[in-house]
């Protein structure tokens, strides 16, 4: 038996990164690295980074700054930087962070054990050669390997990566450069993975990718399934209760997919449809390839086919050249659509993104002002939208028991809204119960357990 070592993984960024961290943890467990939550006790520290905005990138550097000190005290400690900052900066990272041992891009995470073994040999060799290993190839020929997740802790929901990369090249975005071109995973592998999860007690899956509704459309794809066809196949899996997916690009939202919200019983009634701006002029400069009219048409169709659907979105304020008038159009849009929730961000220049070279950058204080106005109004709308379900009885999937309030459970509606309620019944995470909604807050609902 090899001595047990410990790995600490810190994850920044989106669900793709969260899933990649789970995969790395599983690969490491098979390579004699047990997971630890204590950074000080780790023999290996993996920082899975995000580069979507400058702030996200800076978070990785600030953590790495702390690791520099730990590495000085313990030279045997192995430090790996993975994810989008690793891909974006590659060897360039070493200029600021020369103590890093491994730099691994998103397509190369499956090589982690092999790279780690080589590095361990190096660090223990008499020459103590400290050369960092860099694995940042990004090839359109890459195939996401078949991979069956282990279920170590009891859980009832999981993310399933169905595709990687993005072909859209929105002018502000770094993802096409850090995750490469769209590569869809084989439908057979995806279904096998979900069946395996369901056999192990999983009740809800979220199909993830940067642009899931173009699943199966990439040139190299041999999936044999469109995204709606994949959803139908997942819906047919016995024992699975709920299906979610994220993220979708409005231009690829087909009538077939809209129809799924009437047809597929397990498909949750929540759609995250990032609009980014309410101004056609700005959408054009963002290279989003849809107009506000076509976006609104799709919203109408979704709500018509299933009036219970909740809609959430992403919005960027202060894109280069965004005038007060453009911003007012975004404010109008959120009042027209009445999103159930939204994430909004200040525009941030990214190194490889086209818009970094655009003139007319919006001053920081104007971005702050616009973000604040947008979020204040959206919060009011969210509260009003939540208010509308008060009095109705909704199926809620149990997530767990509150750690702070005795007897209080929390779960989610199909529309992805958190519900808190008191119940003395012994409930199980993943179980669906009927809750009568009594009160609405901005971030959650409060209800009463209706005994079925
Ligand atoms: N693939 C998804 C989301 C990708 S990133 C999509 O296309 O919708 C999540 C969100 O981050 C984006 O929707 C966008 O609103 C925001 N974002 C991306 N790049 C950004 C940048 N350079 N500055 C500010 N926000 C950005
Ligand atoms: Fe980025 Fe646009 Fe692709 Fe989303 S669709 S990941 S915002 S390039
Ligand atoms: Fe961030 Fe990369 Fe995801 S940049 S948002 S971790 S795809």
Q: Convert the pLDDT of each residue in 23-82 to its tens digit.
A: 999 999 999 999 999 999 999 999 999 999 999 999 999 999 999 999 999 999 999 999
- For residue 375, what pLDDT band results from cuts at 50, 70 and 90? very high
Q: What pLDDT digit, counting tens, does each position of 238-293 carry?
A: 999 999 999 999 999 999 999 999 999 999 999 999 999 999 999 999 999 999 99
CA of 379 to the centre of ligand 1 (A): 20
The pLDDT, as a whole number, for residue 80 is: 97
Which of 14, 50, 173, 361 best tests ligand 1's pocket when mutated (most atoms within 8 Å of CB)? 173
The pLDDT, as a whole number, for residue 221 is: 58
For residues 2 and 193, which has the higher predicted lDDT (pLDDT)?
193
The pLDDT, as a whole number, for residue 163 is: 95
CA of 335 to the centre of ligand 1 (A): 21
Q: Is the predicted pLDDT of residue 120 greater than 90, yes or no?
A: no
Q: Report the C-alpha gap between 334 and 227 in whole angstroms.
A: 28
The pLDDT, as a whole number, for residue 122 is: 67
Closest CA to 113 of 46, 19, 63: 46
- For residue 447, what pLDDT band results from cuts at 50, 70 and 90? very high
CA of 358 to the centre of ligand 2 (A): 18
Half-sphere exposure of 341 (CA within 13 A, CB side): 15
Q: How confident is the model over 185-207, as a mean pLDDT? A: 96
- For residue 123, what pLDDT band results from cuts at 50, 70 and 90? low
> Ligand 1 pocket, 347 CB below 6 A?
yes
- For residue 218, what pLDDT band results from cuts at 50, 70 and 90? confident
Q: Strand ranges (DSSP E) for 121-186?
A: 133-135, 157-161, 163-164, 183-184
Q: Whats the size of the chain, residue-wise?
A: 452
CB atoms within 10 A of CB 279: 23
Q: What pLDDT digit, counting tens, does each position of 41-57 carry?
A: 999 999 999 999 999 99
Q: How confident is the model over 18-22, as a mean pLDDT? A: 96
With a pLDDT cut of 70, the percent of the chain lying above it is 96
Q: Is the predicted pLDDT of residue 222 greater than 70, yes or no?
A: no
Q: Is the predicted pLDDT of residue 124 greater than 70, yes or no?
A: no
Packing angle, helices 324-337 and 292-305, rounded to 10? 10
Closest CA to 396 of 294, 218, 269, 299: 269
User: Which listed ligand is nearest to 312 at the C-alpha?
Assistant: 1
CA of 415 to the centre of ligand 1 (A): 22
Atom of ligand 2 nearest to the CA of 167: 3
Cα–Cα distances (Å) from 413 to 354, 386, 437, in that order, read 39, 11, 11
If DSSP codes are grouped into helix, strand and coil, which group holds residue 420? strand
- For residue 131, what pLDDT band results from cuts at 50, 70 and 90? confident
Atom of ligand 2 nearest to the CA of 247: 4
> Ligand 1 pocket, 52 CB below 6 A?
yes
Q: Is the predicted pLDDT of residue 451 greater than 70, yes or no?
A: yes
The pairing of strands 393-401 and 408-413 is antiparallel
Which of 9, 23, 50 best tests ligand 3's pocket when mutated (most atoms within 8 Å of CB)? 50
Residue 61 host element (H or E): helix 54-73
């Amino acid at each position: 038996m090899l001595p047990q070592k410990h790995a600490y993984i810190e994850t920044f960024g989106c669900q793709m990164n969260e899933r990649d961290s789970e995969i790395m943890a599983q690969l490491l467990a098979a390579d004699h690295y047990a997971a630890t939550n204590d950074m000080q006790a780790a023999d290996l520290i993996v920082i899975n980074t995000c580069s979507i905005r400058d702030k996200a990138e800076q978070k990785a550097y600030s953590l790495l700054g702390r690791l520099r000190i730990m590495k000085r005290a313990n030279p045997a400690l192995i430090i790996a930087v993975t994810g989008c900052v690793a891909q974006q900066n590659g060897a360039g990272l070493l200029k600021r962070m020369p103590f890093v041992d491994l730099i691994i891009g998103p397509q190369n995470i499956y090589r982690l054990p092999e790279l780690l073994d080589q590095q361990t040999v190096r660090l223990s060799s008499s020459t103590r050669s400290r050369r960092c290993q860099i694995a940042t190839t990004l090839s359109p020929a890459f195939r996401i390997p078949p991979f069956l997740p282990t279920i170590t802790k009891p859980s009832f929901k999981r993310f399933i990566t169905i595709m990687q990369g993005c072909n859209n090249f929105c002018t502000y975005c770094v993802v096409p450069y850090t995750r490469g071109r769209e590569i869809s995973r084989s439908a057979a592998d995806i279904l096998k993975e979900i069946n395996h999860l369901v056999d192990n007690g999983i009740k809800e899956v979220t199909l993830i990718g940067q642009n899931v509704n173009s699943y199966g459309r990439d040139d190299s794809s041999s999936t044999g399934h469109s995204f709606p066809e994949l959803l139908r196949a997942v819906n047919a899996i016995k024992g699975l209760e709920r299906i979610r997916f994220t993220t979708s690009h409005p231009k690829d939202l087909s009538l077939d997919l809209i129809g799924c919200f009437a047809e597929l019983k397990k498909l949750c009634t929540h759609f995250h449809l990032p609009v980014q701006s309410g101004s056609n002029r700005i959408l054009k400069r963002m290279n989003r390839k849809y107009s506000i009219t076509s976006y609104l048409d799709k919203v109408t169709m979704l709500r018509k086919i299933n009036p219970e659907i909740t809609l959430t979105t992403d919005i960027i304020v202060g894109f280069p050249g965004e005038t007060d008038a453009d911003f007012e159009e975004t404010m109008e849009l959120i009042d027209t659509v009445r999103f159930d929730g939204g994430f909004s961000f200040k525009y941030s220049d990214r190194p490889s993104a086209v818009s970094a070279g655009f003139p007319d950058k919006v001053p920081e204080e104007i971005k702050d002002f616009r973000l604040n106005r947008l979020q204040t109004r959206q919060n009011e709308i969210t509260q009003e939208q939540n208010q509308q379900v008060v009095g109705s009885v909704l199926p809620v999937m149990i997530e767990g028991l509150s750690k702070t309030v005795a007897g209080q459970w929390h779960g989610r509606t199909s529309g992805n809204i958190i519900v808190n309620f008191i119940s003395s019944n012994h409930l199980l995470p993943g179980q669906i119960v009927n809750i009568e909604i009594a009160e609405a807050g901005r971030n959650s609902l409060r209800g009463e357990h209706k005994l079925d």
